[in-house]
Amino acid sequence: MIPNVTKEVIDLGDGRTISIETGKLAKQADGSVVVRLGDCMLLATAVSARTANPNVDFLPLTVDYREKFAAAGRFPGGFFKREARPSDSEVLTMRLVDRVLRPLFPDDYHAETQVMIQLMSHDENVMPDALAGLAASAALAVSDIPFYNLISEVRVARVDGKFIINPSRTQLEQSDIDMMIGASLDSVAMVEGEMKEISEKAIRFIDLELLEEYRELEKNVRAERTKFEDDHLHGTVIHYLYARSFFKDQTFADVELAKIHEYYLGQAEKYWNNKGLYEQGLLALALRRYDKKEAGLRIMRSLKERALKSEELGMYWNYPRSYFWNQLPIETHALLTEAFAEVAEDENMVEELKIWLLKNKQTTHWKTTKATAAAVYVLLANGANWLTEDTPVKVSFPNVKKKKAYSDPIAAAQQTAEAGTGYFRTNWDGNAVSKEWAKVKVENPNKTVAWGGLYWQYFENLDKIKTFEETPLQLKKQLFIEQASDTGPVLRPIGEKTALHPGDKVVVRLELRVDRDMEYVHMKDMRASSFEPLNVLSSYKWQGGLGYYESTRDAATNFFFDYLPKGTYVFEYALRATHKGDFSNGITSIQCMYAPEFSSHSEGIRVGVE
């Protein structure tokens, strides 16, 4: 059967034409067209459900745009010989098309609708994203899907003062205005773009600010208050060098400004070692972009030598806890990760640094939107693409003979794992669990870090509980009896044979070790019914740089930490023995409320009062 092909041609007036053809490809779609400019060809299809879901009160419109390697006669390189997820450019094109199409559907149209746009043939001189909106609108126009008005999208560039419709890549590189416009015959629906004019004025402004800074320096040198050879590399200059490095192709207004710029680059090469981690990262990036690669590499080698490495936590530095712009830990770590990717080109280091960011998020929250944006950007923009690493982890219990007892529930849980994170949860009844389940093996086939928790709940006498030490939180609890001596009060450990009597003063000592920063931590210390606390008032306390809230209750004393830095801490408080008997003093337990998988407890203690 000969297809009934319809074709229309649009003359752009400069020798180029755009053709729109329908009836030949994708005939089972509600509407399909092939749009061509030069050797660039796009296939757009539109499909819509016949009925709407009664529970949907919006338009479920999906716009998909793909530029596959096959359009240029190539295939993806690397280990995986297949197309990956959409690039940033493709996602932005989807949004531009969606933004101009969505308002043109009827308000009461809620049927699921899909518009698929695929690059069929690549032309080096044609920007295909500029044709995507036209192709999508044409596909809807030839379908029976209700659509109010036909639209088109074009790219408009200004080159040498002249506006050009759908410019070539070469023309776009020479333009000072780049706009994407979506419009119908009688109205404009969307305008988005960028202009170099704004950035040029901004660069000129900061250049003049640097000139004024240098003029002030010259005055101080003439007054013999300083020398040109001294360190004049302060925060403003460092930020200038970093910001200016993004626009290094923009020339300076005069020769003097260029010389001043070189002077401060020389200062960066000479005095970078006097600056903090954040400033060193900024300087390394600026020096690398200004072709001073060796100077940038010196900074990166120094940073690598000072970095701390942990098999679990990755690579990091000792960050101060501060609110100064140059001492913010997340922003600093994100910047240094970017520096190792761009300057040192050290992929292994980048992956280690990304691991620290995720492990940091596991136990602490990122304080600001700025910190979150910096962390998310560096995780997605550098190193391996962790979003494509979604193979489920392998969990097994080697000593359990009936493999299906654990494999089936785990497989079922992984089928409904949370998208993006891979989080899943499953459990087993107590009668199905035996001592063979005590050993668990976890295999991670992905390049990304993975973590989880395994909880075995059972009942045990408090006195028989042993200290749990295989955790980042480690607790040690001791009881002392305070006795008077010639040199003052003396603390003597309470052992199995230590005799206590009513009225004795007992001191509880809790030793806490934590190997990473944690937030929102609760520690609960139980006590025997014979002991009454001397301090019954709850209050906020500060000791050794650690702030916490201590709350005395009937059967235990609670400690609440909003921020628990890495380190070792000792807490003491006094009790009074009040009556005779043989008592269980219970345990001390601690748990991070932000990451509940991190918990620990001390051993159970039994005391006797005669």
DSSP 195-256: EHHHHHHHHHHHHHHHHHHHHHHHHHHHTTS--TTS----HHHHHHHHHHGGGTTSPPSSHH
Going by C-beta distance under 8 Å and a sequence separation of 6 or more, which residues neighbour residue 137? 101, 147, 150, 151, 152
SS3 608: strand
- State yes or no: pLDDT of 595 exceeds 80: yes
The chain-wide mean pLDDT, for the chain, equals 88
What local confidence, expressed as pLDDT, does residue 159 receive?
87
Tokens of 570: 């000792």
Query: Measured in whole angstroms, how far is the alpha carbon of residue 572 from the centre of its chain?
Result: 39
- State yes or no: pLDDT of 202 exceeds 70: yes
pLDDT tens-digit series, residues 27-47: 889 999 999 988 899 999 999
**Higher per-residue confidence, 312 vs 81:** 312
The mean pLDDT of 215-226, rounded to a whole number, is: 93
pLDDT tens-digit series, residues 252-297: 888 899 999 999 999 999 999 999 999 999 999 999 999 999 999 9
The beta strand positions in 460-566, using DSSP E, are 473-483, 490-493, 505-514, 518-526, 531-533, 539-543, 546-552, 556-564
The mean pLDDT of 4-12, rounded to a whole number, is: 86
Start-end of CATH 3.30.230.70 domains in the chain: 6-186
Report the DSSP pairing between strands 441-443 and 6-11.
Answer: unpaired
Report the DSSP pairing between strands 61-66 and 113-121.
Answer: parallel
SS3 349: helix
Of 67-71, 134-138, 539-543, 558-562, the range with the lowest mean pLDDT is 67-71
Start-end of CATH 2.60.40.690 domains in the chain: 464-609
What local confidence, expressed as pLDDT, does residue 538 receive?
92
Q: What is the largest CA-CA distance in the chain?
A: 114
DSSP for 253-286 reads SSHHHHHHHHHHHHHHHHHGGGS-HHHHHHHHHH
Query: Measured in whole angstroms, how far is the alpha carbon of residue 391 from the centre of its chain?
Result: 20
- State yes or no: pLDDT of 115 exceeds 90: yes
Q: Which CATH architecture has domain 6-186?
A: 2-Layer Sandwich (3.30)
CB of 341 closer than 8 Å to CB of 350? yes
Tokens of 481: 């009896």
| Helix/strand number for the chain, H first, E second | 12, 27
Tell me the C-alpha distance between 394 and 353, whole Å.
25
The mean pLDDT of 226-249, rounded to a whole number, is: 92
Tokens of 546: 């650690």
The mean pLDDT of 91-107, rounded to a whole number, is: 89
Length of the chain: 610
Report the DSSP pairing between strands 113-121 and 152-159.
Answer: unpaired
The mean pLDDT of 83-102, rounded to a whole number, is: 86
What local confidence, expressed as pLDDT, does residue 77 receive?
64
With 0-12 / 13-18 / 19 or more C-beta atoms within 10 angstroms meaning exposed / middle / buried, residue 592 is: buried
CB of 20 closer than 8 Å to CB of 11? no
- State yes or no: pLDDT of 80 exceeds 70: no
pLDDT tens-digit series, residues 551-581: 999 889 999 999 999 999 999 999 999 989 8
Which amino acid, residue 260?
Answer: I
The secondary element (H helix, E strand) that includes residue 43 is strand 40-48
pTM of the model: 0.68
Tell me the C-alpha distance between 327 and 344, whole Å.
22
Q: Closest by alpha carbon to 586, among 541, 547, 528? A: 528
Q: Closest by alpha carbon to 101, among 86, 116, 89? A: 116
What local confidence, expressed as pLDDT, does residue 278 receive?
95
Tell me the C-alpha distance between 63 and 118, whole Å.
11
The mean pLDDT of 199-218, rounded to a whole number, is: 90
Task: Give strand pairing partners of 152.
Answer: 183
Q: pLDDT > 90: what percent of the chain? A: 44
What local confidence, expressed as pLDDT, does residue 312 receive?
86
- State yes or no: pLDDT of 1 exceeds 60: no
Using pLDDT thresholds of 50, 70 and 90, give the confidence band for residue 303. very high
Of 174-178, 227-231, 349-353, 368-372, the range with the lowest mean pLDDT is 174-178
Which amino acid, residue 7?
Answer: K
What local confidence, expressed as pLDDT, does residue 170 receive?
85
464-609 has which fold?
Answer: Immunoglobulin-like (2.60.40)
SS3 49: coil
Q: Closest by alpha carbon to 32, among 143, 113, 111, 126? A: 143
**Higher per-residue confidence, 579 vs 76:** 579
What local confidence, expressed as pLDDT, does residue 136 receive?
92
Tell me the C-alpha distance between 20 and 23, whole Å.
11
The mean pLDDT of 396-415, rounded to a whole number, is: 89
- State yes or no: pLDDT of 81 exceeds 70: no
pLDDT tens-digit series, residues 424-472: 899 888 888 888 888 899 998 887 888 888 888 777 777 777 777 677 8
Using pLDDT thresholds of 50, 70 and 90, give the confidence band for residue 100. confident
Query: 3 φ, ψ to 5°?
Result: -65, 145
Which amino acid, residue 51?
Answer: T
Half-sphere exposure of 567 (CA within 13 A, CB side): 9
pLDDT tens-digit series, residues 370-397: 999 999 999 988 888 777 777 888 999 9
